[in-house]
Structure 1
Amino acid sequence: MGDRFGVVDLFSGPGGLAEGFSSLRKGTRDAPFRIELSVENDPSAHQTLLLRSFLRKFEGEWPDAYYDWLNGDIEEEPRWSEIAGKKWRAAEKEVLNLELGTEKARVVIDREIKRVREQYGDSTILIGGPPCQAYSLAGRSRNVGKKGYLPAKDERHFLYREYVRVLEELRPAVFVMENVKGMLSSAVNGDGIFTKVMEDLQNVAGADSYKLVALDPDSDGHNSTRGSCPAPRDFVIRAEKHGIPQARHRVIIVGIRADFAAYTPACRLPQLERRAEVVTVRDVLAGLPMLRSGLSRADGPQAWKNALSRAMRLLRSIGSQGDPMAASGYMRALDECEASIDYVAESGRACQTLADHPDAPPQVLEAWFRGARLRGLPNHETRGHIDRDLERYLFAAAFAEAHGRSPKAQDFPNQLAPNHRNWLSGKFADRFRVQCWDKPATTVTSHISKDGHYFIHPDPRQCRSLTVREAARIQTFPDDYLFKGNRTQQYVQVGNAVPPLLAYRIADSIWRFLEDGGCRDRPELKSAC
């Protein structure tokens, strides 16, 4: 067993898992996990991955041209192949734009898996997660409404089998598989998907060839080496319990090859330690430069001031809902909005520089987010909204300031109710949802690309939904992590990602296990905890 591991990343998205694993260091600079292969079908996510892979080839000393571009010193993206051709070609070889499950992809991936095995032997790791649309509660709800929809014919239910196929070919020391919580209750023809997934993973190379490990289980006796497999619910990771500013609940399965897991006491298996501190939206967003929302029509600073002034007059005429103390906080929020309207209007819709904002790096996780050479924030530009939505956003943010929670549909005045037939049905009670300052955010999903209604900024003065960069902060992507494609594609990438900081902590737990070499050759580690 070597001290470096080759990592294969399937269904990579924009690279959240890969960023976490590749960021781990032994000592000062040495990276034990090297990303050798990433596979992603979406073209914009592939371009994001390709650029990040290229930068990793510089091992921390990234080219000046990258920061010149991010900082706005040059307008066009540099030609990376001309700056460092060998590194760019290596990145192109590492990051493949392929549709997993197709014959074309199998031929290429099998060749690359053979290469990784020859280079690293047993020292390999498999990470990734199949697409989740077929498993998620929202996706299943949409599918019910589709005429003639048959789950058994939805290939997305079975894309995990391609992950299992690669697992069988690679035979890594450890694998990590991530998916949505809805996978636990998803079924085809009455058969639970998750039970089948667990069986396939556990027995991929013969009976009990991999031991499935729950990183943060709720039940007792979960990871006993002589006991049964953990209960399905034990594989759910609640990100907010591990220092992530987001209540993101996902299924994460870690599998250890049987010869590494043999005789290993439960206390030495990979596990995530829960953290006492709760990281909030305020911790990661409060210091960022203020930006105004955009207008869908006739946008500009004066047009925005006029629209916001109209919204404030309407909200003052309606008044606050609830007790006098809440009413006072609500009106105070509107007063602050009115006092700062000129400043926010002139701040613009995009962050060009951080020079005037010395407090921009968050006090929590500062070293993780901020590169020393970064003077601006990429992907930090607001989208446009219609005037009626500005009124709703302003009300919702002011309400949250006063009540400490996001308003439900029944909290909205009739004058602000959208023309939705099911507005008061209870099915979409939080159609307009504020991410409150002093709590972790709700789960960032790809739906943020649609309209932003679920992701309203907590500051009423800015009156807008979150930018791509703010969503990326909540997902714990470093500030110099650039997302390619148009803004809608960038939002989708961020929403589909695994938080890199969570991936980093998973990687660290796996590395601490691997440093022991399992218990194969260490009799002194075989004693009980």
Structure 2
Amino acid sequence: MITADALQIRQRKLARLRSGGSPRALEICSGAGGLSLGLQTAGIELAAHVEIDPEAAESYALNFANGRDLKGPWALPRNMESVSAAELITDLGLPTSAADSFDVLAAGLPCQAFARIGRSKLRSVSGGKEDAFQQDPRASLYRRFLKYVEDTQPLAIVIENVPDILNFGGHNVPEEICEHLEAAGYSTGYTLLNAAYFGVPQIRERLFIVAFAHVLGEQPRFPVPTHFAELPSGYQGTRRVALKHVDQNSGRFHRLHEPADSLKAAVGARAALADLPRITEHVDDPRVIRRRKLTEVLPYRESKKALSEYASMMRNWEGFSTAAGTDGHLVRLTPRDFPIFEAMDHGADYPQARKLAEKLFKEALSRKRLNGIHKNSSAYRDLRAEIVPPYDPDKFPNKWWKLDPAKPSRTLTAHMGKDTYSHIHYDGQQCRTISVREAARLQSFPDGFAFAGAMNAAFRQIGNAVPPLLGLAVARVLKEQLDRAVQSADNLQVA
């Protein structure tokens, strides 16, 4: 039950918005700021954030400092488990209390324990325990988030996570979160949204929870798709597993929007990347790539073809526009696999790559006149190691994947910080995995968005982020509902 003090705080916040104040947001586990960029673009002020990763916190500061000292408290990493809302207020020198400082509370809570891709890793490090993911302390961070709700009394709440949080060992975590929020005086709703349906050149399914304080008189709504995309079978299967324990008739669960095929087609990889610099130095002169800094700017490619609508948006995002070029043109140096990348078909994965490697190996044996040597000889083994990747295609069928230029990318993950083979560039002549800036484009980060740290850290930050365009779609609906609530309050005041 909501207390009289909490109700008074929320009414005070509504009155501030009614007097012309902008909604102010606190984001927990902000990462580099994908969701924050969406919130800001929708007209919500970024008042504070909490992020434990030092490089992601630095990236956030670089892009959202707005005059703040980049060496000051705004840029410091913080652990949501150990810093309270009151301590955050003090650190940042905000003039109001924790309860009066924020109107919107957002969070992209760590997903490793919930995501099935992370559960196998947790089993590995725990000695094979099947329920290791349930013991991961990150799985209970949403309870710490609920403490932030209690301390900050926001008018609106938005939470993002992976679909598997709906089926966490048979437990529907969003239902539990919504139950707690409803007991605290909020109307709640949750659903799955796919980034490709909102103009992101990537098939990326995510869970969103939205809640509004009862004082607003609003029920949560979610954005309607603007683009049509067919989900590959693997994503359909993941969706079915995630929804297994969801009551489709729940008052909290919002049925999934299925985009009409009359909508604009989803943005494909070529439309997203074609104007970015052509990178061949990894083959021609690897020293160039080794010397290149993440911050080095290269010119856009010149073409007689018109710039795609998506590329134009990435170049001209308000506050992050670029002119002649952009940075982030670092790629992994993996010379063994360059010939395989070149020969792979669009949309091909590791089993085909392995077959191509075996073919290249046989050709090399013939070329070097080594067809008759024994498989256990050092010459045979050494040559094979130079050409053929060691992974078992039966165990790693999805380890590699070559972009299809006409279709959205597969989901980018934080694992890109260690391995980008899941996203091989569609242009076989460039025979490489994607660059940092190309990953950022596929995630819908504008070209003027800067990433701190080295290449691996940048890939990790991008893979961890909420796609800004998806965050913007959610934020726009949330902002419209806040504005309507404020207008309703104005009308009531006049009456």
Q: 1:365 and 2:310 equivalent?
A: yes
Distance 1:18 1:288 in 2: 25
Which residue is 2:165 aligned to? 183
Note the alpha carbon deviations across 1:378-418, whole angstroms, 9 max, x for none. Answer: 112222113x211221121xx22xxxx32451573433694
Distance 1:356 1:194 in 2: 45
Secondary structure of the equivalent of 2:485? coil
Q: Which amino acid aligns with 2:342?
A: L
The answer (yes or no) to whether the contact 1:10–1:129 under 8 Å persists in 2 is: yes
Equivalent of 2:270 in 276, 282, 287: 282
Distance 1:513 1:248 in 2: 25
Q: Matches of residues 448-467 of structure 1 in structure 2 within 5 Å?
A: 448-467=416-435
Which residue is 1:213 aligned to? 189
Distance 1:15 1:361 in 2: 30
Which residue is 2:115 aligned to? 136
- Which piece of structure 1 moves more, 356-365 or 126-135? 356-365
Which residue is 2:459 aligned to? 491
The answer (yes or no) to whether the contact 1:289–1:351 under 8 Å persists in 2 is: no
Q: 1:19 and 2:37 equivalent?
A: yes
Q: 1:97 and 2:77 equivalent?
A: yes
The answer (yes or no) to whether the contact 1:289–1:357 under 8 Å persists in 2 is: no
Which residue is 1:507 aligned to? 475
Which residue is 2:204 aligned to? 248
Distance 1:523 1:88 in 2: 37
Quickly say closer, same or farther: Cα 1:52–1:480, change in 2 above 3 A.
Answer: same
Note the alpha carbon deviations across 1:52-79, whole angstroms, 9 max, x for none. Answer: 122xx2xxxxxxxxxxxxxxxxxxxxxx
Equivalent of 1:51 in 40, 51, 62: 62
TM-superposed CA distance for 1:199, in Å, is: 2.5
Aligned residues: 401
Q: Which amino acid aligns with 1:274?
A: T
Distance 1:165 1:159 in 2: 10
**Unaligned ranges ≥5, structure 2:** 1-13, 228-262, 361-386
Note the alpha carbon deviations across 1:145-203, whole angstroms, 9 max, x for none. Answer: 3317544542111011121111121121111100111212222xx64434433323333
Quickly say closer, same or farther: Cα 1:159–1:358, change in 2 above 3 A.
Answer: same
Aligned-residue Cα RMSD (Å) equals: 3.4
Note the alpha carbon deviations across 1:29-52, whole angstroms, 9 max, x for none. Answer: xxx311010111111111111111
TM-superposed CA distance for 1:516, in Å, is: 1.1
* TM-score (normalised: structure 1): 0.68
Secondary structure of the equivalent of 1:492? helix
Note the alpha carbon deviations across 1:282-320, whole angstroms, 9 max, x for none. Answer: 11101222111526x98358xx9xxxxxxxxxxxxxxxx
Distance 2:475 2:401 in 1: 33
Secondary structure of the equivalent of 1:470? helix
Equivalent of 1:479 in 447, 451, 468: 447
Q: Which amino acid aligns with 2:286?
A: D
TM-superposed CA distance for 1:435, in Å, is: 1.2
Which residue is 1:80 aligned to? none
Quickly say closer, same or farther: Cα 1:168–1:430, change in 2 above 3 A.
Answer: same
The answer (yes or no) to whether the contact 1:350–1:382 under 8 Å persists in 2 is: no
**Unaligned ranges ≥5, structure 1:** 25-31, 58-86, 215-234, 305-346, 525-529
Secondary structure of the equivalent of 1:88? coil
Quickly say closer, same or farther: Cα 1:256–1:107, change in 2 above 3 A.
Answer: closer
Quickly say closer, same or farther: Cα 1:286–1:419, change in 2 above 3 A.
Answer: closer
Q: Matches of residues 409-428 of structure 1 in structure 2 within 5 Å?
A: 409=351, 412-413=355-356, 414-415=358-359, 418-420=388-390, 422-423=392-393, 425=394, 427-428=395-396
TM-superposed CA distance for 1:505, in Å, is: 1.8
TM-superposed CA distance for 1:12, in Å, is: 0.7
Quickly say closer, same or farther: Cα 1:410–1:373, change in 2 above 3 A.
Answer: closer
TM-superposed CA distance for 1:493, in Å, is: 0.5
Note the alpha carbon deviations across 1:405-462, whole angstroms, 9 max, x for none. Answer: 3245157343369454631x2x422322011100011111112222321110000110
Q: 1:164 and 2:146 equivalent?
A: yes
Secondary structure of the equivalent of 2:432? coil
The answer (yes or no) to whether the contact 2:270–2:405 under 8 Å persists in 1 is: yes
Quickly say closer, same or farther: Cα 1:257–1:270, change in 2 above 3 A.
Answer: farther
Distance 1:348 1:482 in 2: 13
Distance 1:350 1:94 in 2: 22
Distance 1:113 1:161 in 2: 24
Equivalent of 1:406 in 336, 348, 361: 348
Distance 1:253 1:100 in 2: 19
Q: Which amino acid aligns with 1:503?
A: G
Q: Which amino acid aligns with 2:329?
A: H
The answer (yes or no) to whether the contact 1:50–1:91 under 8 Å persists in 2 is: no
Distance 2:168 2:139 in 1: 9
Equivalent of 1:299 in 286, 291, 295: 286
Distance 1:250 1:285 in 2: 23
TM-superposed CA distance for 1:95, in Å, is: 4.4
Quickly say closer, same or farther: Cα 1:240–1:38, change in 2 above 3 A.
Answer: same
Distance 1:106 1:162 in 2: 11
Secondary structure of the equivalent of 2:106? strand
Quickly say closer, same or farther: Cα 1:261–1:95, change in 2 above 3 A.
Answer: farther
Distance 1:378 1:181 in 2: 32
Which residue is 1:42 aligned to? 53
Which residue is 1:7 aligned to? 25
The answer (yes or no) to whether the contact 1:284–1:473 under 8 Å persists in 2 is: yes
Distance 1:520 1:119 in 2: 26
The answer (yes or no) to whether the contact 1:270–1:512 under 8 Å persists in 2 is: no
Which residue is 2:242 aligned to? none
* TM-score (normalised: structure 2): 0.72
Distance 1:52 1:178 in 2: 21
The answer (yes or no) to whether the contact 2:98–2:152 under 8 Å persists in 1 is: no
Distance 1:286 1:364 in 2: 12
Quickly say closer, same or farther: Cα 1:356–1:456, change in 2 above 3 A.
Answer: closer
Equivalent of 1:272 in 190, 205, 224: 224
TM-superposed CA distance for 1:112, in Å, is: 6.8
TM-superposed CA distance for 1:521, in Å, is: 3.7
Distance 1:472 1:289 in 2: 14
Equivalent of 1:436 in 364, 383, 404: 404
Distance 1:506 1:49 in 2: 20
Q: Which amino acid aligns with 2:207?
A: V
Distance 2:96 2:146 in 1: 16
Quickly say closer, same or farther: Cα 1:93–1:349, change in 2 above 3 A.
Answer: closer
Secondary structure of the equivalent of 1:456? coil
TM-superposed CA distance for 1:213, in Å, is: 2.6
Q: Which amino acid aligns with 2:45?
A: R
Quickly say closer, same or farther: Cα 1:451–1:361, change in 2 above 3 A.
Answer: farther
Which residue is 2:328 aligned to? 379
Note the alpha carbon deviations across 1:74-123, whole angstroms, 9 max, x for none. Answer: xxxxxxxxxxxxx2338844444111112x45652365799576599597
The answer (yes or no) to whether the contact 1:445–1:492 under 8 Å persists in 2 is: yes
